[in-house]
Amino acid sequence: MTRTLTILGATGSIGRSTADVVLAQPEAFRVEAVVGGRDAAALAAMARRLGARFAALADERSGGALREALSGTGIGNGAGSSAVLEAVARDADTVLAAISGTAGLAPTHAALKPGRRLALANKESLVCAGAAFMADARRLGVEIMPVDSEHNALDQALAAGRNADVEKAIITATGGPFRTTPREQIAKASAKEASAHPVWSMGSKINIDSATLMNKGLELIEAHHLFDLEADRLDVLVHPEAIVHGLVQWSDGAVTAGLALPDMKVPIANALRNQGRLQMDLPRLDLAAIGRLSFERPDEERFPCLSLAKAALRAGGAMPTILNAANEIAVEAYMAGRVGFYHISEMVEQVCSSFSGRGLAAPATVAEALAIDEETRQAARQLAAAFTETTRL
């Protein structure tokens, strides 16, 4: 069976790994459409490389550049949000959703069509609007395959039993670049230092989230929605080698784990598989060569973002939506060098507590989630400006 595939975020880190998977077994895929953010040249190159039929750029102003770069190829193209939605609406049995951040929510949600498979990398969709998103996916009969490595491993491990028999589902974290760095030193870290991930090579926003461990917090919320597991059946374990990605502890004491070398092509290939698995010519896991695997508990004192995310998951309602929006603004301010590392968690905490009194319910629709997201961003931007002032003083 050939999969017809549309890739959202085709020029990013996950998008490029997806292209490698597709081209490793070209007879298994036909690429319908590719979507990118701003870079017309990169998107045009990707569309040509994959033989896509249509390419859409989110940024309207770069439409001319895209048209020029694709002229004579016969590849249809367009720019702006309507072009992105056109790409999403085109016939494809599988959509791989890898736009970064909450910007990915609307196009990823629009990709939910009856009978489709959604290979989901954009975790922010589930963190921002998880309940509404999953309800729509169920109603439309969309099969969701997690691309995030931890969830992909959990998905495979969970196949060994029933949800009711899961005592704990555990996702691992490498610990990021500051795993062993003292707090005083982390406090002074620049965005460049925070971006130097020890194992994975990823986009810039998720890199910072990995340094703060917010990424793992977002992943707990993601796991909650994907697998219908409540907060006290979810846990995080630090594992610097990044070989074991997810573990399921069953009611009888048995543990089923998902292992692989840390290469996103492995979970992507699994998320895109047919009845059988794809044949991937990647290095094989050699445990004897690795020799030892190590594990430790996460230090929530040095990485307060993890406990903030856990608190948001436990609080429920709109708290994960608020946490996610506040974090995106805080990370933006940090990447721009306007605030320090621990201002990220301070900002998230302050924004979350300023909204907590309102007891907002979990958004029932994606539109509602986006409205709460926008309101939170405004509050977070004001706070970021105030933090920037005090940082300068």
* Binding-site entries for 1-deoxy-D-xylulose 5-phosphate: 123, 149-150, 197, 210, 215-216, 219
Binding of residue 208 to ligand NAD (CB under 6 A): no
Round to whole Å and give the CA distance between 175 and 132. 31
Per DSSP, the residues of 131-173 read HHHHHHHHHHTPEEEE-SHHHHHHHHHHTTS-GGGEEEEEEEE
246 binds, among Mg ion, ligand NAD, none (CB under 5 to 8 A by kind): none
161 or 203: CB nearest ligand NAD: 203
Stretch that binds ligand NAD, among 33-41, 110-118, 226-234, 329-337 (CB under 6 A): 33-41
Residues at the site binding Mg ion, with contacts judged by CB under 5 A = 148-150
Using the minimum distance from each CB to ligand NAD, give the nearer residue, 312 or 383. 312
Comparing CB distances to ligand NAD, the nearer of 22 and 202 is 202
Q: Which tokens sit at 65? A: 């550049």
Tally the residues of the chain: 393
Annotated binding site for NADPH: 11-14, 37-38, 122, 124, 203
Angle 181-186-192 (CA atoms, 0-180°, nearest 5)?
Answer: 105
- DSSP structural state of residue 296: B
Which parts are annotated binding residues? 11-14, 37-38, 122-124, 148-150, 197, 203, 210, 215-216, 219
Q: Please, which contacts does 293-299 make with residues 24 or more away whose CB atoms are closer than 8 Å?
A: 293/239, 293/241, 293/243, 293/244, 294/239, 294/240, 294/241, 295/172, 295/237, 295/238, 295/239, 296/175, 296/237, 296/238, 296/239, 297/237, 297/238, 298/173, 298/175, 298/213, 298/216, 298/236, 298/237, 298/238
Query: Which residues contact residue 61 at a Cβ distance below 8 angstroms, ignoring those fewer than 6 apart?
Result: 79
Number of residues that bind ligand NAD (CB under 6 A): 27
Contacted entry of ligand NAD, Mg ion, none for residue 263, CB cut-off 5 to 8 Å set by kind = none
Which x/- pattern over 229-268 shows residues binding ligand NAD (rule: CB under 6 A)? -----------------------------------x----
- Kindly state the smallest distance separating residue 349's Cβ from ligand NAD, in Å: 22
171 binds, among ligand NAD, Mg ion, none (CB under 5 to 8 A by kind): none
Q: Which of 250, 341, 264 is nearest to 304 (CA)?
A: 341
CA dihedral (268, 272, 275, 276) positive or negative:
negative
Q: Give the residue, chosen from 40, 157, 170, 206, that forms a contact with ligand NAD under the rule CB under 6 A.
A: 206
Residue, CB closest to Mg ion: 148
306 contacts ligand NAD (rule: CB under 6 A): no
Chain positions contacting ligand NAD, by CB under 6 A:
9-15, 35-37, 58, 84, 98-100, 103-104, 121-124, 148, 200, 202-203, 206, 264
